[in-house]
Amino acid sequence: MHAIATRSLTKHFRSTWRRRVVGLDHLNFAVRENEVYGLLGPNGSGKSTTLKLILGLYQPSEGEADIFGMSVERTVSRTSVGYLPENPYFYRYLTGAETVRFFGRLCGMRGRRLEEKVSELLALVGLEAHRDRRLAGYSKGMLQRIGLAQALVHEPRLLLLDEPTAGVDPIGSIEIRDLILKLRGMGKTILLCSHLLDQVQDVCDRIGILHYGKMILEGDVKSLLARKDQFQFTCEGLDETARNRVREAIRAAGSRLISEGNPATTLEHLFLQSVRSADREKTAPSKATRPVDLPTAERL
Amino acid sequence: MKTSTPRLGFSFGRLWTIGRNTMTEVIRQKFFYILLVFGLVVIASSRFFAQFSSAEQIKFIKDFSLAAMTVFGALIAMVGTAELLPLELENRTIYPILAKPVHRAEFLLGKFAGMAMLLLLTILLMSLIFEGLLLYTEHQLLAGAAANASAPGAEVSAQEIAGQILHQTRDPALLKAIFLIGIKALIVCAISLLISTFATSVIFNVISSVIIYICGHLEAGARQASLGDQSPIVRGLMLVVAFFVPDLSAFNLADAVVLGQHIPLRLVANTAAYGIFYAAIALALAILIFQEKEI
């Protein structure tokens, strides 16, 4: 069973003058259990719309979505989901502990079990020392961490993290990344929306790139980034004499040595290429009616 | 493959959690303090305006204080409730809440419950000031009456005057009037919450609530006046207004209390039931609209 599955999920909005704007266009994608899936895309590509549809904050115009096999239209489906919003949308007059307690109570937790959970989560996100401080006095990094704590309070199997490191300084960003990896180690499934592509590359098992509400590229991070027309040996303890023998062997095999370094591309490069390729497809007049081809790693 | 999972029933625990937080939220807003303090000052000041005979003095305090409680109760209900939902949407604090297993009806009713608890506390506080003022005035008047009655040539005995004063200050009808002021504030709160589910701005909500409030007070008089009207349009219009707008003047017992009239408990119970019915209809409509609202 998939943690998330969408089938032809579509969302239309009405703009001024009642013009129809496509927010999400027949999206089909699935997140497997216990994987970290990165949902990428430029601003306005449909990432937040996807999250809101999964959380039941929007009603789909067409199609459907499930969480662990249960329709997202049912409120009970959210017992398995923890959500960290893009910005810290919390009550700033509550303290850190009160915030986690408030969300715990909303999930039906009470008494000693809740208090233990509050302390455990504040320790996990490193905010134990600030538990009685009001959120109004928290830094952006601390707010994101308290956001993670509230998302985890009811022990959800799935976490939806919308820009978890947005506006956070590099150190805070690394801390959050480490937390995500820790959560993956705890068996959580994570859907991560982010613009920080290096971070996505570090933590995600698979990625999907959304553009104009469509999935333009999807796959396993390692295979998407690998250049299949080239081959790379990673060796240890190879001295200069041995290296020369390897170079000679490559020439003898009729091959050409391109580089001796790491030939992998970056996710940032892949992302930009995908978006630009889709832009070209969309703006070229002769191709306007042709469906957009998904770029493959080989083509890139 | 779909899994069979238990349904998530309506939870009063979640409603209470949201309600309690709503109370904290409103208490922290400046308008609340300003209105509350102003209301308390107005009630307390009624003592200084009353420069009449003992009977008139008590009547004035009762009339003035009950009117102040009605107006400030309604104002707090209108302004406080009008901001509840728009603030949640503007600050997006609603996102992480509805991302939890929380029904939208629980969220909306929790907001109403929080505001209702605050309104009842506010009215209770105003009632305590009012009652304190009445007891203080009673004490002063009794002392004055005793001094006057013991003076040579007094026509009325001290006991008689004391009886008249106590009859006015310890009138159980006061509690009935305050109870209905509370119910009226709850109706205003429910109507304002209903408007906030579709209103585009807080100002629009407050203005609409004020218009409904005024219509609700004028409704009974207009209905009476239209009875003699032969025009089916006027009578039809009155019928529509009477259906959609609650008759808020029915909750005003101040005049009867001031005049010392007997107020049957049955009348109070029926009026309260009528008010609760309207509030329930307004909340049900609010839930229906909010269920479909895109956050």
Structural element, H or E, at residue A84: strand A81-84
Residue A290 has pLDDT above 50, yes or no: no
Task: Decide which of A225, A253, A282 is a domain's last residue.
Answer: A225
Please tell me the distance in Å from A221's CA to the nearest CA on chain B: 28
Please tell me the distance in Å from A260's CA to the nearest CA on chain B: 49
* Reported pTM: 0.83
Residue A249 has pLDDT above 70, yes or no: yes
Residue A90 has pLDDT above 50, yes or no: yes
Instruction: State both tokens at B126.
Output: 């105003």
Is the CB of residue A107 less than 8 Å away from at least one CB of chain B? Answer: yes
Q: What separation in angstroms does the CA of A156 have from each of A67, A80, B132, B253?
A: 11, 4, 53, 54
User: For a pLDDT cut of 70, what percent of chain B falls above it?
Assistant: 91
Q: Residue A53: give the domain boundaries.
A: 2-225
A211, A102: one domain: yes
Please tell me the distance in Å from A125's CA to the nearest CA on chain B: 18
Q: What is the mean pLDDT of chain B?
A: 86
Is the CB of residue B99 less than 8 Å away from at least one CB of chain A? Answer: yes
* Span B202-218, average pLDDT: 93
SS3 B119: helix
pLDDT digits (tens, 9 = 90+) for A22-38: 899 999 999 999 999 99
Task: Decide which of A193, A225, A257 is a domain's last residue.
Answer: A225
User: What local confidence, expressed as pLDDT, does residue A297 receive?
Assistant: 46
Chain A residue with minimal CA distance to B4? A70
Per the CB < 8 Å rule, is A69 touching B101? Answer: no
Please state whether beta strands A62-67 and A70-71 pair in parallel, antiparallel, or not at all (unpaired). antiparallel
Q: How many CB pairs lie under 8 A apart between chains A and B?
A: 93
A145, A291: one domain: no
Which stretches within A217-260 are classed as H helix?
221-225, 240-252
pLDDT digits (tens, 9 = 90+) for A208-226: 999 999 999 999 998 888 7
Query: Which of A59, A66, A83 comes nearest B96 by C-beta?
Result: A83
A94, A157: one domain: yes
User: What local confidence, expressed as pLDDT, does residue B291 receive?
Assistant: 92
A297, A274: one domain: yes
Residue A288 has pLDDT above 60, yes or no: no
Q: A299 pLDDT band (50/70/90 cuts)?
A: very low
Instruction: Output B50 or B92, whichever has higher pLDDT.
Output: B92
Is the Cα torsion angle A180, A184, A187, A189 positive or negative in sign? positive
pLDDT digits (tens, 9 = 90+) for A138-173: 988 899 999 999 999 999 999 999 988 887 777 777
Domain extent listing, chain B: 12-144+158-292
Categorise residue A9: left if φ over 0, alpha if ψ from -120 to 50, beta otherwise: beta
pLDDT digits (tens, 9 = 90+) for A256-285: 888 776 546 666 566 667 777 887 877 776
Residues of B in contact with A15 (CB under 8 A): none
Q: A295 pLDDT band (50/70/90 cuts)?
A: very low
Residue A92: which CATH number? 3.40.50.300
Instruction: Output B170 or A121, whichever has higher pLDDT.
Output: A121
Residue A128 has pLDDT above 70, yes or no: yes
Is the CB of residue A56 less than 8 Å away from at least one CB of chain B? Answer: yes
A187, A239: one domain: no
Residue A289 has pLDDT above 60, yes or no: no
Q: Return the DSSP state at A58.
A: S
Per the CB < 8 Å rule, is B93 touching A90? Answer: yes
Please tell me the distance in Å from B160's CA to the nearest CA on chain A: 57
Contact A274, A266 (CB under 8 A): no
Instruction: State both tokens at A154.
Output: 């009811």
ipTM value, please give it: 0.84
Instruction: Output B82 or B147, whichever has higher pLDDT.
Output: B82
Is the CB of residue A117 less than 8 Å away from at least one CB of chain B? Answer: no
Nearest to B68, CA basis, from B185, B172, B170: B185
Chain A residue with minimal CA distance to B22? A91
User: What local confidence, expressed as pLDDT, does residue A296 receive?
Assistant: 47
For chain A, count helices (H), then strands (E).
Answer: 9, 10
Residues 6+ apart with CB under 8 A from B240: none
Residue A42 has pLDDT above 70, yes or no: yes
User: For a pLDDT cut of 90, what percent of chain B falls above it?
Assistant: 51
Q: A291 pLDDT band (50/70/90 cuts)?
A: very low
A204, A74: one domain: yes
Query: Which of A1, A81, A106 comes nearest B102 by C-beta?
Result: A106
Alpha-carbon gap, residue B77 to B115, rounded angstroms: 7
A21, A116: one domain: yes
Residue B160 has pLDDT above 80, yes or no: no
A21, A137: one domain: yes
Is the CB of residue A163 less than 8 Å away from at least one CB of chain B? Answer: no
Q: Give the residue from B100, B200, B292, B295 with the most A CB atoms within 10 Å of its CB, the best one to mutate.
A: B100
A155, A213: one domain: yes
pLDDT digits (tens, 9 = 90+) for B216-267: 998 888 777 776 666 778 777 777 877 788 999 999 988 888 887 888 999 9
Instruction: Classify burial at A207, counting beta carbons within 10 Å of its beta carbon; exposed 0-12, middle 13-18, buried 19 or more.
Output: buried
Is the CB of residue B100 less than 8 Å away from at least one CB of chain A? Answer: yes
Residue B71 has pLDDT above 80, yes or no: yes
Query: Which of B13, B92, B95 comes nearest A105 by C-beta?
Result: B13
Contact A56, A77 (CB under 8 A): yes
Q: Which residues of A44-70 are buried (b: 16+ CB within 10 A; e: fewer)?
A: ebbbbbbbbbbbbbbebeebebbbbeb
A107, A183: one domain: yes
Per the CB < 8 Å rule, is A89 touching B294? Answer: no
A244, A219: one domain: no
Is the CB of residue B266 less than 8 Å away from at least one CB of chain A? Answer: no
Domain total of chain A:
2
Task: Decide which of A203, A225, A247 is a domain's last residue.
Answer: A225
Q: Give the residue from A106, A154, A160 with the most B CB atoms within 10 Å of its CB, the best one to mutate.
A: A106
A220, A235: one domain: no
What values do phi and psi take at A218, rounded to 5? -150, 145
